[in-house]
Amino acid sequence: MQSLITLGRQPALSLAELESLYGAAALTRAGSQAVIVDVEPADINFNRLGGAIKLCQVLHILDTIQWRQIEKFLFDAGPKHADLLSEGKLQLGLSTQGFDINIRQLEATGLNLKKIIRKSGRSVRLVPNKELELNTAQVHHNKLTSPNGWELLIIRDYDRTIIAQTVQVQDIESYTYRDRERPKRDARVGMLPPKLAQIILNLAVGFIADDRPGMVVLDPFCGTGVLLQEASLMAYQPYGTDLEQRMIDYSRQNLDWLGEKYKVDTTLAILEKGDATNHTWQKPVDVVAGETYLGKPFTSAPAPEPLAQTIADCNLIIKKFLRNILEQVPSGTRFCLAVPAWATGANSKQFKSLPLIDQMDDLGYNRVSFEHAGDNELIYHRPDQYVARQLLVFTKK
């Protein structure tokens, strides 16, 4: 039984995250916004995946992309599959990716499928489509992942069609709650989204993700503790340091809040005031993950001189940190750091990166590359922002 996962706004980040956890050989692309994972849905810890939108079970693969043939299959198989679902009124939704059809055509397919299932004696409600793919809020609201819910996801993959059933969707409300309701926030030090913090953690821990609960995850630039919160929810022991005592105090309050709201033990978290360029950390440190200093914020395209100075400042601080921690962790220790990159235009896909990225070998580290995502694609960026986050994954030699 294979899983199908639909990918986030920046698919490369999602693919690297999944490859880090399950290995490159387990992944097969399915169109531009989905991937088949050779793991059963029940064995995927979906709530820890920051870059995944929907988790689905693959039901069937058709050797056609003709919509009429796809409809024929749905009309033949639909009533049989509906009989396998729990009793009660069936909540039915249809979503597609990659097909050259409009919403009216999709709704016509859904209405015909509804009629056919009703003729078999089953009560059915069809969820109306606002777009060709139902969003997570619609899936939640209409309970399409409940025992008598059924979202069929129909994906074009070159010359074949994948039909899958959604079993879980990203919990947007929980992410928003963890981001906005925590007691201490500070926009001046950056606002790391919880979903991105999860991706960073998953890239850092790799295959050992589920095998070593309690391992120590160090965030040397912890800020208000967003990554420490997500590490706690993954049952790791968070270890945070920051240059400012205020950030350490904020992190402690946020972790205490998380422990109370989510019923997780955050009492073992280690928090210390310390400059990452010269601090001595306690041992052991199993993995290192976090967002580094991002430099001066820019609300408009920066002029060459201020940008050059900002790049130099960030490069110096992060390089000093890498030299400082090198002798404090054993060989093979894996890192994932979100370092700054700068868009050359508001909607540009071109970025200026830190010079140290090309010097990792000389600094004593090996860059980790991915089969399903290029090194230069691992950039978290919004079109209206000039400072992006480039995810740098590497190990100590």
In a domain, 378, yes or no: yes
Mean pLDDT for each 10-residue chunk of the chain (397 residues)? 94 97 96 96 95 97 97 91 78 96 96 92 92 96 93 96 97 94 84 95 82 86 97 96 97 97 95 98 96 89 90 97 97 97 76 96 97 95 89 97
Measured in whole angstroms, how far is the alpha carbon of residue 138 from the centre of its chain?
A: 20
Query: Is residue 177 in a domain?
Result: no
Residues 199 and 256 in one domain: yes
Residues 39 and 120 in one domain: yes
Q: Tell me: the pLDDT tens digits for 253-303?
A: 999 999 999 999 999 999 999 999 999 999 999 999 999 999 988 888 888
> Do 262 and 145 belong together in one domain?
no
The CATH number given to whatever domain includes residue 137 is: 3.30.2130
Instruction: Please report the pLDDT score of residue 211 as a whole number.
Output: 63
Domain count, the chain: 2
Same domain flag for 252 and 112:
no
User: Do 370 and 249 share a structural domain?
Assistant: yes
pLDDT of residue 160: 97
Tokens 């249809």 locate to 94
> 108 in helix, strand or coil?
helix
Q: Do 205 and 155 share a domain, yes or no?
A: no
- Pair 108, 207 in one domain: no
Specify whether 16 is located in the same domain as 39: yes
**239 and 138 in a common domain:** no
Last residue of a domain, one of 100, 134, 169: 169
Per-residue confidence (pLDDT) for residue 383, from 0 to 100 = 81
CATH number for the domain harbouring residue 330: 3.40.50.150
In a shared domain, residues 128 and 204: no
Are residues 339 and 240 both part of a single domain? yes
The pLDDT assigned to 345 comes to 64
| In a domain? residue 96 | yes
The answer as to whether 107 is a domain residue is yes
Q: Which domain holds residue 109?
A: 3-44+52-169
Which of 143, 169, 195 is the endpoint of a domain?
169
Q: 178 lies in a domain?
A: no
